[in-house]
Chain A
């Protein structure tokens, strides 16, 4: 449960959450330390003020509070002493007038403890605590002490706190950003490799920095896995080439014999049957050619020969070339190329083959008296080459199957062809970092070859 919740949190989300928590805790700590500091200082000052008031108002055993003269004398004595010289003392009479002391107050203070500020007009005091005590006969003793050990103490303290906690926050922020960047870069390296491999470049590997850290070990393990996969693929490709070759050799001999039979046939019936066998033999050979071609494309080596090309011209030329072929089969073929088209980088031969294949498919499966529309358009994603027919189309549930090798649909199995046409086009699309999409042309099939722009 917890595990699942943790997995669901994204890395940036987690980073932000930790940062926010850290900020809250840091600020709270700062405020708490500040508050504790202030409370402690106030308590200490209050205790000192109490003690001094006790000294001034000390009475001899069995007697009442001393007279005003004595109190003033004590205040004077305390004012001269080094350790109590900073304490403000004032004695007021019952009528509220000042009787003596080393300070004068601007406002009457309530009995008991209170806070003082700079506005109270006591020289050298910006923040302080005051204690007003009854001194007998309506007189009052006011004791004042600073809560700041030196001038502008608060400002300095605030600055220290800001610099201290601020630098901690900056260090943590910087550290987390660096960490996120580092992790992001190393994971990005892996993702780039995975993308390259999906795109068919099986030789791509994750860079190893040589630091032997977790990421390096992960990258090395990943690369070993890729080496193994590449090795297996190489073996498989070799085997399929060998198989294709081994099968093609006897097929070629068979083909030779069949064509001799066609030539030497004694009557028409024999000739027709031999010709039918020859045609099937050719289908098989074409199938091997297509399989090997797909293997070649999926190997990705042809990317090395990619060059900038004018797709509009290629499509116009190829589709126009196919018009007589379509007409020969009783179809109409129209070509619409919307210029200007962004230049693309690709393999001229393969893109031509893709278009010839798609048009060939439309001719073959497009139904009687079909209309085939070839169009090239610029879209947000890049370029889309569409070949639409008005035949029976392919039901939505069968479209994925149609793109798979040997995935030709049962309903069309009676038709000639080897069923590798669409998978071949799909492989060509993938080689160009694009894709082949089959859709409903209402009625008919529209095959869209989508190529990314530059």
Chain B
């Protein structure tokens, strides 16, 4: 899916590298160097997602998000920052950003997050609804899941993991994203927790026969077939 992205970053060398990598992934990327230019660009054009550096001269990232939200502009915003402290992240999300990524970020990771925030925007359903991905059906509200109509018994964490994968069926979820969203951790454990739980989930999903619905994207993450 080719997306129209606005990259707001004052470090030109870094921005050019990142923009090139995102273009290689098939996106249209526009780059501006500060917050005011970003607001001006958004007055002219519509973007699918804005990748916004937090610390910039003239108008910083936090102010840009606040201005956007105050104007009622709901474009997905991923805040990009060199600051990795948890409190900075909270500030960014409170200002109205959809996600918060520590620089430097791999293009694949950023790409996965862009798709995730855009997908999030399209959700009009509530938590009560069941989610369908191929022959996998998850009902987060009733803590139940089925494959091909057969119920699957899952532990709480496994169900949360399957729910997250199903919500983003067809998209890549990185390990960092899963740790954040399923485990709720603000750190990345050294142990292969995600891989172990994915393996368990695979075993349970394929117990009643059928092909493995979870795809491993090497070095990046996992994806549930739609």
Contacts and interface: CB of A to CB of B under 8 A. Distances in A.
B178 to A, nearest CB: 13
Interface of B: 14, 17, 21, 82-87, 103-108, 157, 183, 185-193, 196-197, 199-200, 218-220
| Interface of A, helix, strand, loop or mixed by DSSP | helix
Q: Would you list the 10 A-B pairs with minimal beta carbon distance, nearest first?
A: A252-B104, A360-B191, A259-B219, A245-B82, A249-B104, A328-B196, A353-B187, A349-B186, A325-B196, A296-B85
A20 B220 CA distance: 79
B185 A353 contact: yes
A248 B104 contact: yes
B105 A286 contact: no
Given A275-B218, A321-B157, A357 B189 contact: yes
Contact of A296 (B86, B189, B218): B86
A350 to B, nearest CB: 8
Name which of B87, B103, B191, B200 has the most chain A CB atoms within 10 A of its CB: B191
11 contacts: A252-B103, A252-B106, A263-B218, A286-B188, A296-B85, A301-B87, A324-B197, A325-B196, A349-B185, A349-B186, A360-B189
Interface string A404-422: 0000000000000110010
| Interface of B, helix, strand, loop or mixed by DSSP | loop
A259 B82 contact: no
Contacts, number: 92
Interface in A340-364: 349, 352-353, 356-357, 359-360, 363-364
- Category for how many chain A residues contact B: 35 or more
Contacts of B188: 286, 289
Given A293-B84, A324-B196, A417-B190, 5 more contacts: A299-B85, A305-B87, A322-B191, A352-B185, A356-B185
Contact of B218 (A262, A301, A324, A418): A262
Contacts of B200: 324
Nearest to A360: B191
Interface in A224-241: 241
Interface of A: 241, 245, 248-249, 251-253, 255-256, 258-259, 262-263, 275, 278, 286, 289, 292-293, 296, 299, 301-302, 304-305, 321-322, 324-325, 328, 349, 352-353, 356-357, 359-360, 363-364, 417-418, 421
Contacts of B21: 256
Contact of B103 (A248, A255, A304, A357): A248
Contacts of B192: 325, 328
Given A252-B104, A353-B185, A301 B85 contact: yes
Given A262-B219, A321-B157, A356 B199 contact: no
A97 to B, nearest CB: 113
Nearest to A327: B196
Contact of A256 (B84, B107, B183): B107
A289 B108 CA distance: 19
A328 B84 contact: no
Nearest to A288: B84
B104 A251 contact: yes
A386 to B, nearest CB: 19
A429 to B, nearest CB: 16
A259 B109 CA distance: 12
B176 to A, nearest CB: 10
A363 B21 CA distance: 37
A22 B200 CA distance: 82
Name which of B14, B104, B186 has the most chain A CB atoms within 10 A of its CB: B104
Name which of B107, B189, B219, B220 has the most chain A CB atoms within 10 A of its CB: B219
A321 B189 CA distance: 13
A252 to B, nearest CB: 3
A356 B86 contact: no
Contacts of B183: 321
A363 B191 contact: yes
B218 A325 contact: no
Nearest to B107: A256
A296 B84 contact: yes
A318 to B, nearest CB: 10
Contact of B199 (A253, A322, A328): A328
B109 to A, nearest CB: 9
A253 B17 contact: yes
A256 B190 contact: no
